[in-house]
Structure 1
Amino acid sequence: MSAISSTVLKRTAAGTAGAAALGIGYASLVERNAFTLREETLPVLEPGTSTLRVLHVSDLHMTPGQRLKQNWLRELDRLEPDLVINTGDNLSHQKAVPAVVQSMGGLLARPGLFVFGSNDYFAPIPKNPLKYFKKDHKRTHGDPLPWRDLRAAFTERGWLDITHVRRELEVAGVRIATAGVDDPHLQRDRYDTIAGVPNPLAHLRLGLTHSPEPRVLDQFADDGYDLVLAGHTHGGQLCLPFYGALVTNCNIDRSRVKGPSKWGEHMQLHVSAGIGTSPWAPARFCCRPEATLLTLVPAPRREPHTDADHGVSHSEAVVR
């Protein structure tokens, strides 16, 4: 190899290493703390229903010293949402419960619903990142986390735990039939405990789950839910420009890794990209940490159609 070729190779290697270092620095120091609010409008309410503003937060992965995250979360109350939905993974430290509660601030005085995720139950541990590319890899858990203390803090302030229960409530004039499951990522979901068609007189039929596993989403869709909210994916966390997420960390496809999408014929799915990261993987790239303000509006009224076999007319917007 000539001296010139050797010099070019060394400069190329040095440039590649420098670019990688800059990328890692940006992902771990800048984008990980570049919190953003995303806004979406979803036509999921019964025709004629009032608009409902829902703040969806997920995957805080809180540790006590994360002041930037805590301050940003406190500011979300200024949005004045009608309803707050928390889809789990709030904790990443044994002493993080006070930080989570204080960060939620005024949001805890508003109507709220929640389910938990794996990192409410168990602390994160170091993992080989290549495992995320293998969906059936063996899962290991860290020390237990004080999820019961967090649940008590949420429920004492009026938020409702929707884990394996069906509830009905009215918020801002909108009647909501809701149900949720425990974390499918840990195989803790027991959909049979909430199975069945939700109240057809409700203006919104809302499902909650931490991990958006297809087997659970299919069951919500089969029962006639209008909307399911989930988290867990971190939006892929490390994404590539023009390509998107490399992995989803569950069994949904990459196109659904964050934001709204349609599941089945009628149901909408919204997956939050989340606000935090594991302390063992503190980086985001092309995937800013986020909360989402969802404006739920009435769905277009479906035209009644005639069932020729039975000689009756019905509208699928009312009975699903």
Structure 2
Amino acid sequence: MDSGSGTSVSASQLARLSAGAAGAAAAGLIYSTVIERNAFALRHVVAPLLEAGSSPLRVLHISDIHMTPHQHLKQAWISELDSLEPDLVVNTGDNLAHPSAVPAVVQALGGLLSRPGLFVFGSNDYFGPKPKNPFKYFKKDHKRTHGEPLPWQDLRAAFTERGWLDATHAIREIEVAGVRIAAAGVDDPHIERDRYESVAGRPNPLAQLRLGLTHSPEPRVLDAFADDGYDLVMAGHTHGGQLCVPGYGAIVTNCHIDRSRVKGLSQWGADMALHVSAGLGTSPYAPARFSCRPEATLLTLTPVAGGGDDADVDLRLPSLQSVPV
């Protein structure tokens, strides 16, 4: 084959190029579905969010477990998190991916359920996963489709019986490690179950940490928490983008926040922090992660330097690292 310009590609060269591309694609598929999907990591964050004079508070943030009964590696990894001895556990939903997964979730959380905990649920606690067109995720307002109902009532009962507090449309006040916390949460905004008016209003001014919980970090909910004076909102749902491009990051967020906030700690408005977990699981119908390891986060909250209502909080450069447990 001669192009007339001095360059040509023979049939054998074209075949080798095609074979190379196919091999690279296969290697990427194996890496994302077998290796990285199971390369669980613990993210460490240090953030000055407590009132001056408060004791440091260690908060373990877990989200998007998407458990099925036979995911024994994930179950074993989660069970080791109790050795971190967090002061508080926050679970922001999507624990289930199978109707028989409640015992696996409860067993995996194990000792963590004996520690102080707060939780809200996500859509995949209420409804099972189902196959979807992946291109729908590029349209933020695509029509939602639900799978079979999941036994969320059993999961809620297991959590509350062990002492965790359901923050769904509720205001909870607890004291943990000497820190007084005013917490409130909403049901999943991703499927429009949020009713912020049920918790609206400024939290207790005597609290040293004002904490908001939501599964999906939708801006309308984040704005409401910020307007009411919350210090920190914790969310999940995004999977950190799940399939990311090295050097570029997440392609989609699956909600209305921008890509820069798809995981980790950021600032929302003038005075509120947002922490989005990249989560520990995936849908069984999209069991792949690329350049976005599954993770839990241990946040060490410290007093704001200087103290006072006018103290500056800069969250643009938090102390951050990701390491395997």
In the alignment, is the contact (CA less than 8 A) between 2:60 and 2:86 conserved in 1? yes
Residue by residue over 1:186-233, the C-alpha shift from the partner in whole angstroms, topping out at 9 and shown as x without a partner, is 000000000000011110000000000000000000000000000000
**Residue aligning to 2:254:** 249
CA distance in 2, matches of 1:9, 1:271: 45
Which of residues 240, 244, 269 is equivalent to 1:264? 269
Asked if residue 155 in structure 1 is aligned to residue 160 in structure 2, the reply is yes
Asked if residue 176 in structure 1 is aligned to residue 181 in structure 2, the reply is yes
SS of alignment partner, residue 137 of structure 1: coil
Structure 2 counterparts to residues 268-283 of structure 1, below 5 A: 268-283=273-288
In the alignment, is the contact (CA less than 8 A) between 2:51 and 2:307 conserved in 1? no
Could you say if the C-alpha distance between residues 4 and 254 of structure 1 is closer, same or farther in structure 2, counting changes exceeding 3 Å?
closer
**Residue aligning to 1:50:** 55
CA distance in 2, matches of 1:262, 1:31: 28
CA distance in 2, matches of 1:257, 1:20: 26
TM-score (norm: length of structure 1): 0.94
Shift of 1:42: 1.1
Shift of 1:9: 2.0
Which of residues 192, 199, 215 is equivalent to 1:194? 199
**Residue aligning to 2:121:** 116
Shift of 1:6: 2.4
**Residue aligning to 1:310:** none
Residue by residue over 1:68-117, the C-alpha shift from the partner in whole angstroms, topping out at 9 and shown as x without a partner, is 00000000000000000000000000000000000000000000000000
**Residue aligning to 1:104:** 109
Asked if residue 85 in structure 1 is aligned to residue 90 in structure 2, the reply is yes
SS of alignment partner, residue 32 of structure 1: helix
Structure 2 gap ranges (5+) = 3-7, 312-325
Q: Which amino acid aligns with 2:228?
A: D
TM-score (norm: length of structure 2): 0.93
Shift of 1:7: 2.3
Asked if residue 40 in structure 1 is aligned to residue 62 in structure 2, the reply is no
Which of residues 279, 293, 298 is equivalent to 2:298? 293
CA distance in 2, matches of 1:13, 1:254: 33
SS of alignment partner, residue 135 of structure 2: helix
CA distance in 1, matches of 2:205, 2:16: 67
Residue by residue over 1:14-55, the C-alpha shift from the partner in whole angstroms, topping out at 9 and shown as x without a partner, is 111110110010000000000010100111100110000000
CA distance in 2, matches of 1:243, 1:62: 29
Structure 1 gap ranges (5+) = 304-314
Q: Which amino acid aligns with 1:233?
A: T
CA distance in 2, matches of 1:247, 1:108: 33
Structure 2 counterparts to residues 105-144 of structure 1, below 5 A: 105-144=110-149
CA distance in 2, matches of 1:199, 1:231: 25
**Residue aligning to 1:165:** 170
Q: Which amino acid aligns with 2:79?
A: R
Shift of 1:300: 2.2
CA distance in 1, matches of 2:202, 2:113: 30
**Residue aligning to 2:64:** 59
Shift of 1:167: 1.1
Runs of 4+ in 1 over 4 A off after TM superposition: none
**Residue aligning to 2:243:** 238
SS of alignment partner, residue 223 of structure 2: helix
**Residue aligning to 1:311:** none
SS of alignment partner, residue 250 of structure 1: coil
Shift of 1:302: 5.3
SS of alignment partner, residue 10 of structure 2: helix
In the alignment, is the contact (CA less than 8 A) between 2:189 and 2:216 conserved in 1? yes
**Residue aligning to 1:209:** 214
Provide the aligned length of Structure 1 versus Structure 2. Answer: 306
Shift of 1:12: 1.3
CA distance in 2, matches of 1:299, 1:132: 38
